[in-house]
Amino acid sequence: MFSKEKLISYLATTAISLWLAASGPASAQLQIEIVDGVEGALPVAVVPFDFGNAEMQPETSMHEVIAADLQRSGLFDPLPVSDMIDRPTRPPEISFGTWRLLEVDYVAMGRWIPGSDGVSGEIEYHLVAVNSGRTLFSRAIAAGPGAFRLRAHQIADAIYEELAGAPGAFASRIAYVRVAGAGTEDEQFELIVADSDGHNPQTVVRHSQPIMSPAWGPEGRRLAYVTFATGRSNIVIQDIFTGQREIVSESRGINGAPAFSPDGRMLAMSLSRSGNSEIWVRTLESGRMERLTDHWAIDTEPAWSRDGRRIFFTSDRAGRPQIYQVRRDGTGIERVTNEGAYNSRVSVDPYSGLLAMVHGGQANFRIAVLDRESGRLRVLSPGRMDESPSFAPNGRMVLYAAREGERGVLAAVSVDGRFRQRLVLADGDVREPAWSPLIQ
């Protein structure tokens, strides 16, 4: 093991953020189970990466992380390592015949190339198509202690992008709220940030009063959320690496539903300081406040369009909650949803601009995706109490909260609705997931 000082100096020099300046590891990790699989997932093999006799051994098994990522996407069917006949580390070492016999279409492999200090170095990795015999890519990426897991996710993203034709989203994080001891004297709310595979959960903030509505900054290091720590709702922005916190709204009434603008310079919110909930935008640097709506209805849950020129929001101005949009200057309010008695809590697909929302009526609340170009609304989730949709940074999956009996679980579903997984905590209740942007 390396000393803490050495680790810190390594991290400082390589600028790889090891982990959060948080109040410590969270008690339990999300377990991911695949619920509905996809027929015809691509057969791939991720060969164990070769670290030889290097002094530096990764803290994590890279090929396992990569294979698990690919499997979780629903598009790939990784071959178990125990079925592999040989273990190439570079394309010239591949004997294509054996992989064809195993009916594997693509083989990923890699090896560690130590640097002069023996601590940091590079991972060289390759992807080969078995049938054509072509090498699809050969690349290298810097790595070192504490960074292997992130590098594994990034390699999985590279494989995904090469084979699926769209960026991956494995090198990302999820934030969620966990409630322990719900309904008891010891009830605790925790805001947790974990890797996209549920690994390494870290508590960002913990309190006996409710915590709600986490939202990521576009750089993936700031989280805005609502806390009731004072007994009233306040909006806080917290840097997950330094732990630095700033209260950005504590006006009379509701301070809720924060949403960073795509450029990260503004925060949209729902505030009731003027008497009832309206959409406001705060310019973070200057503190300038602008009110975008002025209506007796509940106007809340703002979500920015990808170009930052419009804001989608929930309003019950027509009686029941529906999705509306307003231009950034407060003009041009227009209704967006027409199908269904209840539509709320939009999440905007950062990749193609689809809108995910809570869609329902009296009995069922489900996650639906609206394609505004075709006008088509597709219901993706099967639950009765599904909520809080959040798009993956590549737009391929929607993470959301569901209820099972008296507890909350997280689930993710592909935008075509064909593939679904559950993210379950051994104990406690989880809710309000927010998927981060890609970690660069």
Partner 1 sequence: MNFALKFFLVSALAILLGACATDTRDVPAEPEPQPQEPSEPSEPVEVDRVNPVDFADSRNLDNPESTLSQREIYFEFDRSDVRAEYLPIIRAHAQYLKANPSARMLLEGHADERGSREYNLGLGERRGNSVLDLMQAEGASASQIEVVSYGEERPVCRQSSESCWERNRRVEIVYTAR
What are the residues binding partner 1 (CB under 8 A)?
182-183, 210, 212-213, 228, 231-233, 253-254, 256-257, 270, 272, 276-277, 298-301, 314, 316, 320-321, 342, 344-345, 358, 360, 362, 365, 384-385, 387-388, 403, 405-406, 432
Sheet holding 135-143, edge to edge: 76-78, 42-46, 106-114, 121-129, 135-143
- For 323-358, b/e burial (b = at least 16 CB within 10 A) is bbbbebeeeebeebbeebebbbbbbbbbbeebbbbb
Q: Where are the beta strands (DSSP E) in 40-187?
A: 42-46, 76-78, 106-114, 121-129, 135-143, 173-180
Nearer to partner 1, 172 or 277 (CB): 277
Give me the least distance between CB of 21 and partner 1, in Å please. 27
β-sheet bridge partners, residue 229: none
Q: How far is the CB of 387 from partner 1 (least distance, A)?
A: 5
Burial label, 163 (beta-carbon count in 10 A; 0-12, 13-18, 19+): buried
Report the residue number, 116 or 362, with the smaller CB distance to partner 1.
Answer: 362
CB of 109 to partner 1, least distance (A): 45
Rank residues 320 and 335 by Cβ distance to partner 1 and give the closer one.
320
Q: Which is nearer to partner 1, 277 or 305 (CB)?
A: 277
Quote the least distance from Cβ 338 to partner 1, whole Å: 18
Beta carbons of 163 and 46 less than 8 angstroms apart? no
Residue whose CB is less far from partner 1, 220 or 321: 321
Least CB distance to partner 1 at residue 382 (A): 15
Of 25 and 382, the one with the shorter C-beta distance to partner 1 is 382
* Residue 221 token pair: 């290091």
- Hey, what's the torsion of the CAs at 412, 416, 419, 420, to 10 degrees? 30
Q: How far is the CB of 82 from partner 1 (least distance, A)?
A: 43
- Beta-carbon contacts of residue 266 (< 8 Å; ≥ 6 apart): 260, 281, 282, 283, 284
Q: Nearer to partner 1 by C-beta: 139 or 252?
A: 252
Q: Taking the CB of residue 4, how many other CB atoms lie within 10 A of it?
A: 8
Rank residues 143 and 377 by Cβ distance to partner 1 and give the closer one. Answer: 377
Helices (H) and strands (E) in the chain, counts: 4, 30
Rounded least distance, CB 302 to partner 1, Å:
9
- How far are the Cα atoms of 147, 293, 358 from residue 19, in angstroms, in the given order? 10, 39, 33
C-beta of 270: minimal distance to partner 1 in Å? 6
